[in-house]
Structure 1
Amino acid sequence: MLVQKFRSKLFERSARFLKAAIFNFVTLFGESTLLTFVKSNFIRACYGKDVDVTPVWFMRQAGRYLPGYRRIRKNHTLLEIIKKPELALKVVFEPVERFGFDAAIVFSDIILPLKAWGVSIKEEVGPVTKKPVRTPADVDSFDVHKIEEEGYILEQIRLIKKRRPELPVIGFTGAPFTLATYLIEGKYSRNFESTKSFFYESKVAWHKLLEKIERLVANHLKAQVGAGVDAVQIFDSWVGALSPFDFEEYVLEHVQSVLSSVKGVPRIYFGTCTAGLLSVLRKVEAEVISVDWRIRLKEAHSILGESFALQGNLDPSSLLAPTKLALRMAKRVLEDSRGVKGYIFNLGHGVPPNADPRVVSEVVKLVHSFRR
């Protein structure tokens, strides 16, 4: 009898505690966020929790390889689609509904925060800067209060969540280093020699530039979180051009500043050619490290340890192969993920424009059928 009373009181106390915890969570992050966490394999994997199905999404999953996207692009530029939430919504949901991806990603571009500073998107070229940074005085000319209007991005996020409240939505931005390369190089560069020369010769001005960029992108991310995204990804696409020493001296503190500014959602840090940087990346404040195909997942996991979930890392070119070969390469990645506590299947970079949608579909089916 006493044992039963004790168990009853213990149950009541546990129930009250759980109820209070749920109430506090909902108060802080909203009911839809709780629903997403409970039901989403993607969010659970980000936090290293058990999942029943391996989650999968692809960078550039909304892109030129899809017929619906190509039809829209015939009549609209990239920026026109981004600025029209009703068009962006069509682009966002085409791959999710066609392939069953476990997350949607906001349709935008990493350079959006820099548009007010003179960076534009040139069709078939990418981000370009008319007047690249060459001197410390050029850095002083950038006004952190002069920002691109972003209401259309926030409206896009709200519309995605309204249509599919349970679907995780990933917000994103470019990382300070990668965005700085466009400001200094003027466009994509293979070796980033102007960027490196600038931070070697003008260290104070370099850090001042990255501090300005980090304020822009941190505010951009926080606005997306406020609008309802369930996770954020920081794209440091060109950071692999740096040595571990240069990354630690010239970049790490700014990555940390951006990541630490985001609260309440999992944070994914992505870069290409980062195999040589992983020992330093152990210091970043993120839940997930996204790695490319130049290192095996097992090796990345052994370097990073249990503190991070992993995302990746199928070679995007695999999607250009015949279906059987693409599936064999995808299965190798999945097998390599065994033992990783939290894992999200993805590519090592974006979907190629000439990828075969049928191959994409079969790869996603394989991932969802795989038991780790």
Structure 2
Amino acid sequence: MAFNDLLIRTLEGQNSGRPPIWLMRQAGRYMAEYREIRSRVSFLELCKTPELACEVTLQPIEAFGLDSAILFSDILVPIEPMGVNLDFKPAPYIADPVRTLADAERMKVVNPAEDLKFIMDAIKLMVSKLNVPLIGFSGAPFTLACYMIEGEGSKNFLEVKKMMHNEEKAFRMLMEKLAESTAAYLQEQVKNGCPVVQMFDTWAGIVSPYEYEEFIYPYVKQVVDSVEGAHFIYFAKDSSSFYPVIKQLNCSALGVDWKITLEQADKALDSKFTLQGNMDPALLFADKATITKYAEKILAEGKNIKGHVFNLGHGIMPKTPVENVKHLVDLVKSSD
């Protein structure tokens, strides 16, 4: 089968008729094939076994004919070799959170070729089997820091904000090590065959625009500017109020959540980027007529902006009906 380069052409600014479609968390719990594999191995074991990671990465490509695959892993996998004890219970849990200068000092910068060799082996295996581009990915420095500082998920991220303002030297040391590790990790993914990488900043929206500009953006820019030889997509959830700062980035595309329209985002970003998004994942629990109605709105707006990659505004939810995913993908693919 011929290689499908629609995502690459779109990120290069070529108008190719319909937008490419892939879905964040497209390999995962909503698919029976994935759950069968997970019934046999732990989540971390799945992430660290190249053959299994490859198998689950390919599952949605084979099931739906998506225009891109994304490396199956977890954003927190790279922080383990930095020096934290990572577990999933099933949510991420870090028994030794990083909260002091001494904690930040003991963190190591990742050597991805050695510390994360299993990821690179998985990428090479995936690329050998795919006829669509493979997207590599990482968490963004601040989002990784949120988990490392809190130790688990949080409703108010108070420990993060306390450290940011009361232990600024420690916070910035941690962010610098995370930025350096993330850039090296993404560059190694590119070296092993990923023509596109995406950086997820899931928790960027917990801070004010002032704090984003001062404490988060410099490290985002550091990573974006460091990675060469691939298209770079930055996705920051709840970030539309940061667009005056984010639009200074030099990357190919920005992910957009569902809380702003594509046309509004394009205008706020001065039509500088291809935009990726932005359907609410909860809409995939609606009936097909409703899915069609909202997808067509997004497709229509996508025609009026610089470039559009169809995606959700966040990851697929675990109990999403598979037939609704297929309906959405088929709809977008027939929208020429």
TM-score (norm: length of structure 1): 0.86
Match of 2:37 in 1: 72
Q: Match of 1:156? A: 122
Query: C-alpha separation between the residues in 1 aligned to 2:203 and 2:74?
Result: 15
* Aligned counterpart for 1:343 among listed residues 282, 303, 308: 308
The aligned amino acid for 2:127 is K
1:188 to 129, 153, 167: 153
Aligned to 1:290: 255
Instruction: Tell whether 2:15 aligns with 1:50.
Output: yes
* Residue 106 of structure 2 is aligned to residue 144 of structure 1: no
Following the alignment from structure 1 to structure 2, what is the Cα–Cα distance between the partners of residues 355 and 120? 28
CA shift, 1:274, in A, is: 1.1
Partner of 1:10: none
Q: 1:278 aligns with which of 229, 243, 261?
A: 243
User: What's the counterpart of residue 252 of structure 1?
Assistant: 217
1:93 partner SS:
helix
Q: How does 1:1-372 map to 2 (within 5 A)?
A: 40-116=5-81, 117-125=83-91, 127-144=92-109, 149-164=115-130, 166-371=131-336
> Separation in 1 of the partners of 2:293 and 2:107?
49
> Larger radius of gyration, structure 1 or 2?
1
Q: CA offset at residue 161 of structure 1?
A: 1.5
Question: Using the alignment, how far apart are the partners of 1:145 and 1:112 within structure 2?
Answer: 11
Take 2:266 and 2:111, find their aligned partners in 1: how far apart are those partners? Answer: 41
Query: Structure 1, residues 215-254: CA drift from partner, whole Å, max 9, x if none?
Result: 1111111111110001000010010111111111011111
Residue 202 of structure 1 and its aligned partner are, at CA, apart by: 2.1
Matches of 2:221 and 2:258, distance apart in 1: 24
The Cα of 1:60 is off from its aligned counterpart by 0.5
**Aligned position for 1:30:** none
**Deviation (angstroms), 1:46:** 1.5
- In the alignment, is the contact (CA less than 8 A) between 2:201 and 2:237 conserved in 1? yes
Matching residue of 1:31: none
Rounded Cα–Cα distance in structure 2 between residues aligned with 1:145 and 1:346: 30
| Alignment partners' CA distance in 2, 1:104 and 1:349 | 16
Q: CA deviation at 1:323?
A: 1.6
Residues 35-94 of structure 1, C-alpha deviations (whole Å, 9 max, x = no match): 96xx51111112222113310000000011111001101111111112222111210111
4+ long deviations beyond 6 Å: none
**Residue deviations 1:231-287, cap 9 Å, x none?**
000010010111111111011111111111111111000121112111211012211
Of the structure 1 ranges 199-208 and 115-124, higher mean CA displacement relative to structure 2 is found in 115-124
Match of 1:26 in 2: none
Conserved in 2, the CA contact under 8 Å of 1:185 and 1:195? yes
Structure 1 residues 300 and 319, CA gap change in structure 2 (3 angstroms): same
Q: CA deviation at 1:118?
A: 1.4
Q: Matched residues in 1 for 2:317 and 2:225: separation?
A: 32
Instruction: Write the letter of the residue equivalent to 1:155.
Output: D
SS, match of residue 270 in structure 2: helix
Distance 1:277 1:190 in 2: 21
> What do you get for the CA RMSD once the two structures are aligned?
1.6
Query: How far apart are the structure 1 equivalents of 2:67 and 2:43?
Result: 24
Partner deviation per Cα, 1:98-117 (whole Å, 9 max, x = no partner): 11110000111111111122
Other structure's SS at 1:349 match: coil
Contact 2:273 2:307 in 1 (8 A): yes
Q: Report the 3-state secondary structure (helix = DSSP H, G, I; strand = E; otherwise coil) of the residue aligned with 2:115.
A: coil
Q: Provide the C-alpha distance between the structure 1 equivalents of 2:192 and 2:20, rounded to a whole number of angstroms.
A: 23
SS in 2 for 1:172: strand
CA distance in 1, matches of 2:179, 2:36: 36
Any gaps of 5 or more consecutive residues in structure 2?
A: none
Identity of aligned residues (%): 38
Task: Give the unaligned 5+ runs of structure 1.
Answer: 1-34
In structure 2, relative to structure 1, the CA distance for the partners of 1:119 and 1:239 (3 Å cut) is farther
- 2:32 and 2:269 mapped to 1: Cα distance? 39
Classify 1:219/1:270 alpha carbon distance in 2 versus 1 (closer, same or farther; 3 Å).
same
Question: Normalising by structure 2, what TM-score?
Answer: 0.95
Matched to 1:195, the amino acid is V
Q: Distance in 2 between matches of 1:62 and 1:215?
A: 28
Aligned partners of 1:123 and 1:231: how far apart in 2? 31
Partners of 2:189 and 2:134 lie apart in 1 by 10
1:364 deviates by 0.6
1:292 & 1:179 partners in 2: Cα distance? Answer: 19
**Which whole-Å CA distance do the structure 2 matches of 1:61 and 1:245 have between them?**
34
8 Å Cα contact 1:41-1:53 kept in structure 2: no
1:301 touches 1:340 (CA, 8 Å); kept in 2? yes
